[in-house]
Amino acid sequence: MKPSIIVHGGAWNIPDSLVQTSISGCESAAETGYDLLVSGATAVEAAVEAVASMEDNSAFNAGVGSVLSQMGTVEMDAIVMDGTSMRSGAVAAIQSTRNPVRVAKSIMERTDYSMLVGEGALRYADDQRFERCPVETLLVGRELEDYREYVRTGVLRTRKHFSGETDTVGACAVDEKGHVACATSTGGIPRKHPGRVGDSSIIGCGAYADDRVGAASATGWGEQIMAVILSKTAIDFEERLLNPDGACEKAISTLNDRVDGLGGVIMVNVDGRVGTHHNTPRMCFAFVEGVSGNRRAAISV
């Protein structure tokens, strides 16, 4: 079949200053994944490399560009899920790692575990020869200024100094063999307590994939997303509706109505059709839908 991929760069109050870089970052991530798919790569490889390209892009809160915790640390969460085997791999609160999603993939493929956290995750990344990168490399712009101020004074500015929040990146892909996969990665929420883990690395919440239905990746405020298991909820709606946009809309309605949550979700179904929905002011996404030939990169409002 013709492959498809959809990516998101977060659902939040994306400021005008980040609109263009977010759109071009999502477009480039979708193209990276799609090029891999048409050259025969698996859905897992395409989803992971699309997310890795957004982790390398400081416009997004994942990998380079991640937000700072209350203790001046960068603690990142990521997951990958394979819809064929139903296996997943995840890291949570991992530090000093440029591409947490690649470590998550390694955990899925090389261990019997589903998730490693904190020091243990970093030790695994070291053992697998993933390059360590210092906190100053992961922090950019406002977050780097914040970190330098923290090192100088021992005091971080508080959240009230900032407008809007930042969020999560993700990708969902279906490959030529009709297998689906998804991946999600985040720096979490700004000024979080060290050790706080949100939805992104939790199976069913930040991502879910099942070859019988499709694959989904979520973004938004993690605590509420976990309450409604947003990605699995979106896949469950898709199983009934066979309409990815409609399934995403129903899942976001559940998030909104049941827990007053804010977020977005993207999906690709096993037929290669993509869908999105969000209830935040803006959401950045891009897709290449092989079955229709449609391509788009945009900020949805």
To the query of whether residue 168 is one of the catalytic residues in this protein, the response is yes
Please state the closest distance from residue 193 (CB atom) to ligand GLY, in A: 12
Which DSSP letter does residue 68 get?
A: P
Query: Would you tell me how many other CB atoms lie within 10 Å of the CB of residue 207?
Result: 35
171 DSSP 8-state letter:
E
Give me the DSSP letters along 213-270: TEEEEEEE-HHHHHHHTHHHHHHHHHHHH--HHHHHHHHHHHHHHHH---EEEEEEET
Q: What number of chain residues touch ligand GLY (CB under 6 A)?
A: 12
Question: Would you say 31 or 199 has its CB closer to ligand GLY?
Answer: 199
For ligand GLY, the binding residue among 108, 189, 209, 255 (CB under 6 A) is 189
For ligand GLY, the closer CB: 106 or 186: 186
In the complex, what is the shortest distance from the CB of residue 151 to ligand GLY, in angstroms, rounded to a whole number?
Answer: 24
Q: Which of 32, 42, 166, 168 is catalytic?
A: 168
By beta-carbon proximity to ligand GLY, the closer residue of 106 and 200 is 200
Separation of alpha carbons 35 and 32, rounded Å: 5
Instruction: Encode 166-191: b = buried (16+ Cβ within 10 Å), e = exposed.
Output: bbbbbbbbbbbeebbbbbbbbbbbbb
Task: Using CB under 6 A, pick the residue from 3, 83, 188, 290 that binds ligand GLY.
Answer: 188
Provide the edge-to-edge strand list for the sheet that holds 274-278.
207-210, 214-220, 263-269, 274-278
Q: Is residue 186 a contact point for ligand GLY (CB under 6 A)?
A: yes
The interface with ligand GLY within residues 219-248 (CB under 6 A) comprises 219-222
Nearer to ligand GLY, 35 or 165 (CB): 165
Query: Could you give the residue numbers annotated as active site?
Result: 168
Residues lying near ligand GLY in the complex (CB under 6 A): 167-168, 186, 188-189, 198-200, 219-222
